[in-house]
A = this chain, B = another copy of it.
């Protein structure tokens, strides 16, 4: 064996699939009749539950750059952003497929790092990697499909909110934009992986008070507009209430980032934005917030007049067209 780094081409597809399968473990589980290794994976659906399916991708040069991120972080993030979509529907993760593209001279160590990160995240959120695809391409990209389950008919959809609903976000906003900028400016590795609010989503789906939910991938300004779509309602947001990380303003100043812009349009925070019907007449029950397992902040309200007030006009960010 030469001392030069081994590449995907020298190892070959079958051996690469083997490497993945060794990390994922069992080919069949209580829920999956069959995982990696055949033409397709086979799921035993759970009676009384709907299946929730979503896809999202991470592309080299667009979502990540090898100088800036480690392979492990790239692998972890590829699954985390998908799990966030399940969380936004209130679904519990059931499994995932990874369609991975990379050049033939891609280093095996980098491949292994990506897979290790992906499988780490998959075990953490009980979302087994059950299948997918490997293909050659000029640049690396990870296209992931996640499958989740939600009690029949209960998924948290957009647009179902009503005037009077209260708007909440989990966690803090702007952290992702700041971390990205710091990595770019400081030449250090971007180590931040978003935390998909999987448990919180499942608790929200069990509460009749939750009227709609979305995850914040593009930023509050854009995603709030999506949440309102089809409802005929608008929103009043209190800018001063939007939660940011400790030391956020100073951190932004140090790297020349506008904190308002970072927090509203920076995107990639993957927190949940949801609407909640306040309990009519009765006192609000403070317990529900604690039960979510993550801090939530009341940032505004749904109003009958269309449009969003309280937010400055800003250009959306994003990896889109």
Taking CB as reference atom, which chain B residue is nearest A158? B38
Q: Mark A99-121, 1 if CB is under 8 A from B, else 0.
A: 10100100000000000000000
Q: Is the CB–CB distance between B141 and A38 below 8 Å?
A: no
CA distance in complex: A43, B215 (Å): 20
Asked if A206 lies at the interface with its beta carbon under 8 angstroms from chain B, I say no
Closest chain B CB from A224 CB (angstroms)? 14
Q: Is the CB–CB distance between A143 and B43 below 8 Å?
A: no
Contact of A135 among B97, B98, B319 (CB under 8 A): B319
CA distance in complex: A54, B145 (Å): 10
Asked if A91 lies at the interface with its beta carbon under 8 angstroms from chain B, I say yes
Tell me the chain A residues, 237-259 only, with Cβ under 8 Å from chain B.
none
Asked if A59 lies at the interface with its beta carbon under 8 angstroms from chain B, I say yes
Asked if A40 lies at the interface with its beta carbon under 8 angstroms from chain B, I say yes
Q: Is the CB–CB distance between A214 and B39 below 8 Å?
A: yes
Q: Mark A51-92, 1 if CB is under 8 A from B, else 0.
A: 111111101011100000000000000000000011011010
B-contacting 9-mer, from A6-14, A260-268, A280-288, A299-307: A6-14
Asked if A45 lies at the interface with its beta carbon under 8 angstroms from chain B, I say yes
Q: Which residues of B contact A146 (CB under 8 A)?
A: 40
Number of copies: 2
Q: Mark A125-169, 1 if CB is under 8 A from B, else 0.
A: 000001111111111010101111010110101100000000000
Asked if A205 lies at the interface with its beta carbon under 8 angstroms from chain B, I say no
Contact of A59 among B43, B98, B101, B214 (CB under 8 A): B101
Asked whether A53 and B89 contact (CB < 8 A) given A13-B320, A38-B157, the answer is: no
Q: Is the CB–CB distance between B44 and A152 below 8 Å?
A: yes
Asked if A34 lies at the interface with its beta carbon under 8 angstroms from chain B, I say yes
Q: Which residues of B contact A130 (CB under 8 A)?
A: 53
CA distance in complex: A134, B137 (Å): 18
Closest chain B CB from A54 CB (angstroms)? 4
Q: Which residues of B contact A320 (CB under 8 A)?
A: 12-13, 134-136
List 8 A-B pairs, Cβ < 8 Å: A11-B321, A40-B53, A40-B89, A40-B148, A43-B50, A55-B131, A55-B132, A57-B99
Task: List the 4 shortest-distance A-B pairs measured between CB atoms, nearest first.
Answer: A143-B143, A40-B54, A45-B45, A13-B320
Chain A residues in contact with chain B, CB under 8 A? 8-9, 11-13, 16, 33-34, 37-45, 47, 49-57, 59, 61-63, 85-86, 88-89, 91, 95, 97-99, 101, 104, 130-139, 141, 143, 145-148, 150, 152-153, 155, 157-158, 214-215, 318-321
